[in-house]
């Protein structure tokens, strides 16, 4: 095959005349990867006209250059600016030995009862084993409650499971289960705690926004480590 016939057969790859420098580099990168415009668009997660516009110089301000460089296996800095080598430099092997993966098996946590949401955002515990859930918790005294009612919607929906961890530290901005000495129990967001009281935020603003409870009025306050969907419940219901 003579030179003229070869260039005609590879016209898409080598016809760079009259194009901008950026368009030239994009087309060269695609050619080096052996990709059609359609294949590159699919790998980069863009529409094919984006690639076409870049290669014809109609679009010179693309936000997809880094993605295109990765899809073609070329240096992103070279593709964007023309500086450096076309191919990325090989990564030096690390001399840091990778440690073992830290894994923890999920454990069975018993659902000790149902937390029935009352009209004021409170609930009353109902004794009885309602099955269990499997989740990750380091607290040996962790227990679960099935939540009923809509007073915590939409953050926590009816029928979902709260996993409480009595030995976990309280974390501002996360949920806690609070029981007062007069028997009122609630799940709320902990805002902050002082030496005198805890400040709580209602999950559902329809039941009030903020409330401070003195420590002497609190029977127990437990960290809520997880909220699980009803489909995660195992065992007898």
Residue 14 has a pLDDT of 43
Residue 6 has a pLDDT of 43
**Residue 219 pLDDT level (bands cut at 50, 70, 90):** very high
The average pLDDT across 80-90 equals 78
The average pLDDT across 43-54 equals 85
| 154-165 pLDDT, tens digit each | 777 888 889 999
How far is Cα 113 from Cα 23, in angstroms, rounded to an integer? 66
How far is Cα 28 from Cα 74, in angstroms, rounded to an integer? 10
Look up residue 206 and give its DSSP letter: G
Q: Kindly report the average pLDDT of the chain as a whole number.
A: 78
Residue 45 has a pLDDT of 82
How far is Cα 113 from Cα 178, in angstroms, rounded to an integer? 15
Is 135 exposed, middle or buried, given 0-12, 13-18 or 19+ CB atoms closer than 10 A?
Answer: middle
State both tokens at 76: 């992103």
Does 102 score more than 80 pLDDT? no
Share of the chain above pLDDT 90, in %: 18
How far is Cα 123 from Cα 184, in angstroms, rounded to an integer? 7
Residue 19 has a pLDDT of 46
Cβ-contact 137, 163 below 8 angstroms: yes
Domains and CATH numbers, the chain: 14-81 (1.10.260.40), 108-234 (2.10.109.10)
């Amino acid at each position: 095959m003579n030179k003229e016939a070869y260039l005609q057969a590879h016209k898409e790859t080598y016809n760079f005349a009259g194009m901008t420098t950026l368009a030239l580099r994009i087309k060269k990168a695609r050619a080096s990867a052996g990709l059609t415009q359609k294949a590159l668009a699919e790998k980069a997660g863009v529409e094919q006209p984006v690639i076409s516009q870049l290669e014809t110089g109609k679009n010179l301000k693309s936000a997809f250059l880094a993605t295109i460089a990765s899809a073609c296996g070329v240096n992103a800095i070279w593709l964007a600016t023309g500086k450096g080598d076309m191919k990325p430099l090989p990564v030096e092997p690390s001399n840091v030995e990778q440690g073992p993966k830290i894994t923890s098996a999920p454990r069975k946590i018993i659902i000790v009862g149902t937390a029935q949401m009352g009209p004021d955002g409170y609930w009353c515990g109902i004794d009885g084993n309602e099955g269990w859930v499997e989740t990750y918790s380091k607290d040996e005294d962790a227990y679960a409650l099935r939540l009923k009612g809509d007073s915590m919607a939409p953050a926590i929906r009816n029928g979902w499971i709260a996993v409480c961890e009595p030995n976990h530290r309280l974390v501002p901005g996360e949920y806690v289960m609070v029981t007062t000495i007069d028997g009122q129990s609630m799940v709320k967001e902990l805002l902050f705690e002082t030496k005198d009281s805890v400040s709580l935020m209602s999950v559902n603003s329809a039941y009030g926004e903020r409330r401070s409870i003195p420590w002497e009025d609190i029977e127990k306050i437990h960290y809520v480590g997880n909220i699980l969907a009803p489909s995660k419940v195992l065992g007898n219901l």
